[in-house]
Amino acid sequence: MSKALPIVVAAVIGSASLIPVYLASQNPANFQTNSHKSSFDPKTATPVEKISYVLGYEVTSQMTPPELDVDAFSAGARAGHTKSEVPFTEQEINTAYQEFISQQKNSQQAITPAPTKPAVTSTDASADAKFLIENAKKPNVHKTASGLQYIVEKEGTGKQPQATDIVKVHYEGKLINGEVFDSSFNHGEPIELPLNQVIPGWTEGLQLM
């Protein structure tokens, strides 16, 4: 017997975790498909047949994904039990594994509902509107046609960024009551971000800096 080449294949357990199964690849060219059909009869089953059936049931019901091809799985189980040769190369198995995992992720994303945004109450809307009205009255507050309000604390002399630029900024996010909910200063460094992939107020306001 030639030296076995270990190849790792993975089967999904439940919806996320994986269990490694090691296959010994020797000479794929000599593989022959096993077309054996089960003649198992539970009424006349021997103790060995019963245990064999239960083991097969446990493996397939708890440790395999719903997309499992039962015929191919059975063929692999028979081949493994008799230590037959694996018909696939290591590269073929790795490629199939990656494609399978990708399909699993896409399927999971398709059925996962998008997170819902918290409802905005009339009280919240009134408080926001009142804040903007009062804030706009301050002498150092500028207002754009879109309704954006901003303050220039220190006039710069550098080139103004464009919407397609990547900018490095320090920021501090506050609620209308003054509570800080996030700040780059707390993280110890500014952040870099593409200006056309942030909230509209940032995209517009940073181009005015």
Q: Could you read off the pLDDT of 43-101 as tens digits, one per residue?
A: 888 888 888 888 877 777 766 666 778 788 888 888 888 888 888 888 888 888 888 78
Give the separation between CA 80 and CA 198, rounded to whole angstroms.
54
Which of 17-21, 107-111, 114-118 is the most confident on average? 107-111
Helices 47-62/70-81 angle, 10° precision: 130
Give the separation between CA 70 and CA 78, rounded to whole angstroms.
12
pLDDT value of position 156? 81
Least confident of 22-31, 119-128, 130-139, 195-204: 22-31
Sketch out the chain's domains with CATH numbers. Answer: 5-111 (no CATH), 122-206 (3.10.50.40)
Q: Could you read off the pLDDT of 168-180 as tens digits, one per residue?
A: 888 888 888 888 8
Q: What is the pTM of this model?
A: 0.39
Give the separation between CA 185 and CA 172, rounded to whole angstroms.
8
